[in-house]
Amino acid sequence: MKMGSKHITGLALGLTVSAFGSAAMASDCTTKIGTVLPTSVDWGRPIAETAGFAVEQVNEAGGVQGCEIEMVLRDSQVDPKVGVDAAKALVDLDGVQVLIGAVSSGVSMPILTSVTVPAGVAQFSCCSSSGAFTTLAEEGGTNGLWFRTFATSGVQAAVGAKVAKDQGYGSIAILYKNDDWGQDISKLIAEDLVDMGITVTASVAINDGQPSYRAEVTEALGGQPEAIYMALYPNEGASVVREWLSLGGTQNMVMANSLKSDEFRDNVGLQYLGNALGTDTASPRVASADAFVASYKERFESEPNGPGLSNSYDATMIALLAMEAAGKDATGAEIAASVSRVTDPAGTPVSADAAGFAAAREALTAGGSVMYQGATGNVRFDANGDVSAPAVVWSFTETGTQEKQYVTLQEVDALMMGD
């Protein structure tokens, strides 16, 4: 991943991202937004860089309300306590009214409940998919401050079960990360597999940082499953698979998008992943998604193949558009309330780039609304801050991943309805 010198600077406690387009240089004010993302892990850094890319483009267009955006980036380390401490610093010390993050549901949830909601700060996540956020929103616990551009775990669970059925697996063992996200998706995939007529032989939790997963893998192998489903992160995922294969486990694998990682592939070995199929949400087949891919390749000289990249871009850009719509010195609640004005199906269509942001500013200044057309298409949030999305089935290659099947939004919705 290419990192431009102006893209990310600083280290450790906080990173500051800003860009100086010709219009932005003329501004004499700066507005901070906060970002809590796992920059200390290989798959997390590109997510942060992509958020920074959106900031660059907005500053190129003159910033928000005439002020340059400074993105203060802190590392969550995929640790709830670290994430909460980082978010508190951004809110209490930097005074941000918008927070982008986190990735893991187990980090986003405590930030939401203990930091952003009490402080009235709008929170936008690229990648947290747990159904617990929907429940919290339905109960009034988010105060309308929560938005995520990644579909709920139900999408991946439904598509994962479809993959298992299409492959003809009659039985499957589930190994999941023991956090909010893993617990949520393991429950959902188990229900979907049973509905598909597939036997779930075991569902085993995996904790971080153990020297060995032999006991957990032995438990999962006990029912002699024909395949394994994994909702794990790359580090422990690789350790689990190596243990699994060494004990005679099958190479028939179905994987959540969290394992869509060069790190995982290289640590396991491509020769053992020939029967491995993964799932992920996908951008719709629309021009705005293609435009994002083209601009990303121009900026970073690589394909946006990692998990959460298009979602990270859209979460950041929508947050910045909502800030523009809300007006100068807006509160987090005012920014959150303005999200509907920049994702309005009847609004002026605007592209996901500097020109699009400038066009949005004109429409908003004139009292209108805009329809943001982004990296994941025309984003629509429901009353709980959730989105739906198409999906893909993918496999590993020597250079990354390849798409094996595209599942349309209509097909996804049908799967989730049990049709």
Name 150's Cβ contacts closer than 8 Å, sequence gap at least 6.
125, 126, 127, 128, 129, 281, 308, 311, 387, 389
Do 146 and 157 lie in one domain? The reply is: no
How many domains does the chain contain in total?
Answer: 2
Whether a cis peptide bond, with omega within 30° of 0, leads into 414 is no
Do 194 and 142 lie in one domain? The reply is: no
Sheet holding 199-206, edge to edge: 199-206, 171-177, 227-231, 253-255, 276-281, 391-396, 401-407
Do 269 and 194 lie in one domain? The reply is: yes
Do 235 and 323 lie in one domain? The reply is: no
CATH number at residue 360: 3.40.50.2300
Do 52 and 100 lie in one domain? The reply is: yes
321, part of any domain: yes
Do 157 and 146 lie in one domain? The reply is: no
Q: Can you give the pTM of this predicted structure?
A: 0.79
288, part of any domain: no
Do 143 and 159 lie in one domain? The reply is: no
Do 255 and 404 lie in one domain? The reply is: yes
Task: Give the pairing type, strands 227-231 and 171-177.
Answer: parallel
Do 405 and 273 lie in one domain? The reply is: yes
For 220-262, how does the pLDDT look when each residue is reduced to its tens digit (9 = 90+)? 999 999 999 999 999 999 999 999 999 999 999 999 999 998 9
2, part of any domain: no
For 175-188, how does the pLDDT look when each residue is reduced to its tens digit (9 = 90+)? 999 988 999 999 99
Do 71 and 189 lie in one domain? The reply is: no
Do 268 and 400 lie in one domain? The reply is: yes
253, part of any domain: yes
* Token pair of 316 as six digits: 């950041």
255, part of any domain: yes
* Token pair of 67 as six digits: 């002020």
Alpha helix ranges (H) inside 249-391: 262-268, 287-300, 309-326, 332-337, 339-342, 354-365
Tokens 């920059």 belong to residue: 39
182, part of any domain: yes
220, part of any domain: yes
Low-confidence ranges of the chain (pLDDT < 50): 1-14, 18-26
Hey, how many other C-beta atoms are within 10 angstroms of the C-beta on 10?
11
| CA pair distance 97, 65, nearest whole angstrom | 14
84, part of any domain: yes
- Tell me which residue range forms the domain holding 112: 15-150+308-378
| CA pair distance 383, 224, nearest whole angstrom | 43
Do 71 and 57 lie in one domain? The reply is: yes
